[in-house]
Structure 1
Amino acid sequence: MKKRSFRSTFVSVILVITVAISIVNLAVYGINIKKIRQAEVLKMKTAGERIDDMITISLNNIKGLKQICCTDNYARNILLKNNEKNDIGTKFENQNYMDNALKHIASMDTLILRATILNKYGNIYCTDTSIPEEYVKTIRNMTKEWMLFEGKEDEYYYGGLQGDNANILTFLYPLYTYGNMPIALLAVDINYKTFQSILENGFYENSGECFILAEEQELFHIGEDLYQKEEKGYIFDKSQKMIKENLIVDTFQSKGKNFYISSRQNMLSGWKIIQVIPEERMFEEVDQKIKWNSIFLSGALILVVSFSIYYTKKIIEPLEEFCKKISHTKGDQLQIINLEHMKLTREIANVIENYNEMANKMNEYLVREIIYDKNQRKIQSKMLRYQINPHFLYNTLNLIASMGELSDFPEIVEITKNLSCIMQYNVKGSRFVSLKTEVEMVKAYLEIQRIRFHDCFSVEYEIERQIEQVRIVKFILQPIVENIFEHGFTMDENDNKIWIKAFKCENDIVILVKDNGCGIDSEKREELNRILCERTRRISYIDEEEKSIGINNVNTRIKNYYGEKYGVKVNKTDKGTEIQLLLGIENLEEENKDK
């Protein structure tokens, strides 16, 4: 049976996946569309609740003015009597008390411009010291009219009592005694524009239009004025029915369009709060999401198809040509792929068959190269180990000979013992030792130097216990310490000191060897670090730098065993020189097998 082309299979799969994703996306979006619409309706209700709360908060202090007869017995007694019949002192005291009481309550609300009380005897009490005569005349006439009716409701006057100031909204409240008898009239002027601004700030954007009615009078209008007088009349009648039926949100049709309407009544003022928004505007965001979702899906489908055509043309055609060219050469790769249980297209199957034949040859070649490279590293390591400067051994032997000739010093025994340990350590054993053993060898070396230089230096060790048994490359500390005596110390001083510190840092071991000698200038330190950081170095280059052969030797051996990120570094320090050795912990597993 002839296998299908990868091109046709790939394009078919991409198209099927794209169509499936589109169908699932549309299905999920269709399920959620109802919830999205409900969320928009809830947003409308929330906007109405917010306006309701803003009205209650704004008018709360005015409520305190209305209740002055109930909460203040002294004020009530003043209003029940004709203050003009009192003596001058009592008259002044009553006038001052009432004015201050009104000022105190009015000062709690920045909306209140003026508060005035006029009782049935014509006594006037106000927050302002000077009241316009026309204002006094108007409120006196209203008081006489209101006194004739028991239980008269509140009234509101947009533009003030004279109706000539668009920045004022006046509230008229009858004040009653406990017997429900009217005793005075309260007139409160508030800043209409400030009140309007507060309500507008509390109204959510894109929540339609909002009307606030007192009785049937329109006090406030928020949003664009899109409705004619007849339409407003229908909206207000619809709102009245909704309040009676305790219905907060409803719909209606007008001029072939659907509208959502929300209606509620403020409990404090009795004002009606009406919101109206066209359905198309209310769900504009939802419709935009549907529109952009459709555009995105269409664009994704076009993009996927275009990509499929481009991909198959860009990749498959060169692959087919490649298969033709390499089918007779059987080129070289590394990994063998099993074709028995794999369902492949004709092109890919041909490539893998040729690949497997090439891999067999490449594997043989790579095995030979790896073995050769490993042997070369071992030879290089041995050569580097034998390059360590022998001057130390010669000087020690000369010292032993000289001391033996002169007298019977006990130091000769100590020197001989330590020298023997060092020679055995260097010649015998594996290429790897524990950190503790390496430090013991350094101690033997330093003991010989102590005798040689008559205790002119001291040594301080700080080795973490947890890494004492970790195996490291052999003979890497002694060359570093030897450099201190050759280049760092002047033996005519007795305050020379060496610090040897080893600790674990994540998955590595850090060894620091520091002295307080003459140190190395920054330019030479940077040059030495640059040389030490080179990825590959020739042995002959190390020989050219006779003074740094120990450090270079150690650095090359560490890099060979642990990898390029490890090695030797000269750290910056205030005094003396500090050499840092960075070693791995887990990199020697394979090498340990070959020891």
Structure 2
Amino acid sequence: MLFHNRSYRTQVFFFTLLLALLPVFACILIISANLTKEFSQKYQDTFDRIAAQTNLSIDQTLSNSIRISTLPLINSDVNRALNTDYGASSPSSKYASDLIMIKQQITQANLLNTDIDSAIFINRYGYTFEYGNIVFTNHLSNIEELAQNARDNGVRTWVGPLQKSGFSNSSYQNILPIVRLMWDVTTNQELGVMGVAVNFDTVDNILKTSAMTDSHILLLDRNNELYYSPDEELFADGKNQALLEALQAACTDISTETPDRFTSVRADHSEYMVSISYNKTADWKIVHFLDKSLLYYASIYNLSWLFPMFLLLVLSSFFLSALVTRKLSKNASQLVEQIDCCESSTGCTLKPIKNASYEFIRIVESYNRLTQRLVRSTQDMYASQLNEKQARLQMLQAQINPHFLYNTLNLMASLANIYDAPEIRTVAIKMADILRYNLKSGPIVTLKEEIDQVERYIAIQAIRFPDKYVMECALPAELQQMQVPSFILQPIVENAVLHGLSECERDGYVMINCFVEFDKLHILIADNGVGICPEKLAEIRQSLEKATQEPHSSIGLCNVNQRIQAYCGSDCGLSISSTEGKGTIVEITLLLSEEITPSPPKKS
């Protein structure tokens, strides 16, 4: 509808341009989609590598510290010290000696692990064995609280909140307190509690250096709360809470059974690509996310090299559309000029257009054929109008003859009455009635009027041929006013008299029976004449089916059948049965024109 009222040239131009540009846009969309998919896959692969590296760093840091808790299992002296109540059974010198022994054991076990700066062993009776810098040991002041958290959650290792180093000049900036319940496998009892202050800067450096540009890495604890973020300002003072909540919701199902996930989340009208990995050692979720708009910008940037090609294709499409439009519009203009020069009265034909396409050649040929048909149609219409005027004149002239004949018949009836000639009077009156019925009846009459017309005809024939014909009619009173097409009975009765009873000298019989069956009006016209031979009967039936009028049949059976079907439908009409030498039966089937009410029974 947008170009409906535009010129042909404009429509062709825009549609040609559209057809030329559609493949270009399709190619650009496909390339853009592939680039976006490729970038997304590359980011996903990078996220997976960073997650694997971070997991490995966390596992190494925590595993080295947890390895110290195995000293009671591999060293009997450490096991004994953790099971000794020094206040009840041993002097203080023994406690001091065991303290030195445990420090030596921890030092020996910690030779290759520089990330552990301090440790605390608390045996089952509450005696403390410290190792390392006392300042870092202070980070384990809440060791009993952390140990109780481990007991309450049914685990042996508990990672406490990340803390800042107490030394301003220390190389350790972030301290990770780890508490582990030491267990005696022989007695299946708790030996004591071990606390380790671990340097978290190694993990922090990996998180800061491995993150891609404009991406962020978070650590969420077992309760999906934010544990650590290298960018401290990202969620400080309640900022980006919607994003944090969306990330926490995405980590809900992350566990040992579902250790990783790559998904998308929406927050603050932005969409983020998120990679989540589960660290079993610390029970942390490593969350790496990136704003997806960066992918779109990267795709657009990489598509920028397509812009010159796209511009070239657009210009080529404009040029191609202009050429095609000029060619088509030129042929169309020549065609219009020829049509405008034609005069409808002469019926001129169009000349072939030079260098025209096949379609324009067909248009010219079709127009010329149409012009010829219009000329012939105009001539036929003119001739038809002349014939119609001539027929009207003849009809006006013929109107005098029926009236003159009708008046003459009345005069004959009067003269027959004067000269006492009843037969002539009867013939004149019946003929006048037949003429009046033919002149004044419409296309639809009552069944009683049709029967009366047939009786007039038979009355005249009876005077012509005394004792030759007898007609009986069975017309119930309730059917007399049925509406039927006019002139459907007389042609059939006339055929019965002229053809069926022509060789009968006397006792000729014509019977008309009217009745209702299966919601239709049936009229049977039977005679006891010579009948119809099978070949002739088949010919008549075929002519009724093909609606071709049979010659020498008065108005003709086909005419009657066609008028009945035009009035009542194709399921009505004439049917003929005949036996040669015995007679003929013609059945007329009509629709009921009104509801039939049976006559009440006569009183005896």
Q: What TM-score bracket applies, with the shorter chain setting the length?
A: 0.3 to 0.5
Q: Which gives a bigger RCO, structure 1 or 2 (Cα 8 Å, sep 6+)?
A: 1
TM-score by length of 1: 0.41
Larger radius of gyration: 2
TM-score by length of 2: 0.40
